[in-house]
Amino acid sequence: MSSEEAPKVDVMLGLKSVLSKMEAAVARRSKDLPQITPKLIAVSKIRPPSMIVEAYQMGHRDFGENYVNELSQKANDPLILENCKDIRWHFIGHLQTNKINKLLSSPRLYMIQTVHSEKLANNLNKQWVKYRQEEAKLPVLVQVNTSGEEAKSGIEPANAYKLVEHVMKNCPNLEFKGVMTIGEYDYDMSRGPNPDFISLVKIRQEVCEKLNLDINNVELSMGMSTDYEHAIELGATCVRVGTTIFGPRPRKLQDIESD
Ligand SMILES: *Cc1c(COP(=O)(O)O)cnc(C)c1O
């Protein structure tokens, strides 16, 4: 084996272990939180289609990608089209206007987790008409920049409910499903509960109160490999995990371009 090759990773073991840790985290969750069973998004960025097929064949359906080109390439890959007919693709990256059509035309696109502005919502709402089937709405999450870092996209916490309201009132082709945050990397949990997660929980509360929504129907997408259990304890309904399932990321697949 050359040093360029990634070590063989046991996807089945990784997936099983994450799913069982998720269950244990749900059991530790405070009983006053909405008891929504969290969903696992297997983040497959920079992984070959063969690994996705492996996870799919174990019954996994939800996969996440953060570059449009990579999602589109994988969603159209013959191996995936043939073996993963019910796959659900979640887009979890920063979406630029000039990539919207490419993203929306990807087979089995299921959800966009990163709606961060009215302009993006309007564009998605307008373009989706060309790609939807049976007039189905496009499920979206509103991304909130809870950590206030400039490099991260997402709406400011104080304006989150206005963006949600805009999506609900002015974007009839989109279906508001919840809120999402990436949060600060490498947060040291010995400092107490992650403030980004606490902030997203509060934002959901506020959105539900102001817009009269049932909190049990509004998702909280937060938590990655290092902190998904913690996020679930605080109420996450959707966690996005890559490395813990698929092993350390290889540097790059040669035939996949980023955006
Ligand atoms: C890469 C990525 C993840 C998963 O990260 P891991 O540390 O590999 O689990 C989750 N969310 C987003 C938005 C990502 O880009």
Q: How far apart are the CA of 135 and the centre of ligand 1, in A?
A: 31
Give per-residue pLDDT as tens, 31-86: 888 877 899 999 999 999 999 999 999 999 999 999 999 999 999 999 999 999 99
- Beta pairing class for 39-43 and 62-65: parallel
pLDDT at residue 251, as a whole number: 66
Q: How far apart are the CA of 242 and the centre of ligand 1, in A?
A: 6
Q: Which helix (H) or strand (E) holds 209?
A: helix 195-211
**Separation in Å, CA 66 to CA 63, 70, 158:** 10, 8, 25
- What residue ranges do the domains of the chain occupy? 11-249
Binned at pLDDT 50, 70 and 90, residue 2 comes out as very low
| Angle ∠(234,235,236) on CA atoms, nearest 5 | 110
Three-class SS of residue 220? Answer: strand
Q: Residue for token digits 């997203």?
A: 200
Atom of ligand 1 nearest to the CA of 43: 4
Binned at pLDDT 50, 70 and 90, residue 257 comes out as low
Residue 238, strand partner residues: 39, 221
pTM of the model as a whole: 0.94
Q: How far apart are the CA of 169 and the centre of ligand 1, in A?
A: 31
Q: Which helix (H) or strand (E) holds 140?
A: strand 138-143
Contact 117, 163 (CB under 8 A): yes
Q: Residue for token digits 């938590």?
A: 223
Contact 204, 218 (CB under 8 A): yes
Q: How far apart are the CA of 182 and the centre of ligand 1, in A?
A: 8
Binned at pLDDT 50, 70 and 90, residue 253 comes out as low
Share of the chain above pLDDT 70, in %: 94
pLDDT at residue 1, as a whole number: 44
Terminal Cα distance for the chain, rounded? 30
Give per-residue pLDDT as tens, 158-212: 999 999 999 999 999 999 999 999 988 888 888 899 999 999 999 999 999 999 9
Give per-residue pLDDT as tens, 125-166: 999 999 998 899 999 999 999 988 887 889 999 999 999 999
Give per-residue pLDDT as tens, 199-219: 999 999 999 999 999 999 999
Ligand 1 is surrounded, with C-beta below 6 A, by: 43, 45, 66, 92, 182, 224-225, 240-244
Nearest CA to ligand 1 atom 15: 66
Atom of ligand 1 nearest to the CA of 246: 8
How many C-beta atoms surround the C-beta of residue 186 within 10 A? 6
Q: How far apart are the CA of 224 and the centre of ligand 1, in A?
A: 6
Domain 11-249 homologous superfamily, CATH: Alanine racemase (3.20.20.10)
* Token couple for 167: 């999506």
Quote the CA–CA distance of 43 and 141 in Å, as a whole number.
17
Contact 204, 244 (CB under 8 A): no
Q: How far apart are the CA of 137 and the centre of ligand 1, in A?
A: 26
The preferred substitution site among 240, 246, 258 for testing ligand 1, maximizing ligand atoms within 8 Å of CB, is 240
The DSSP secondary-structure symbol of 163 reads: H
pLDDT at residue 149, as a whole number: 83
Q: Is the pLDDT of residue 3 over 60?
A: no
Q: List the one residue out of 144, 92, 95, 103 whose CA is nearest residue 127.
A: 103
pLDDT at residue 4, as a whole number: 53
How many C-beta atoms surround the C-beta of residue 17 within 10 A? 13
Average pLDDT over residues 226-242: 96
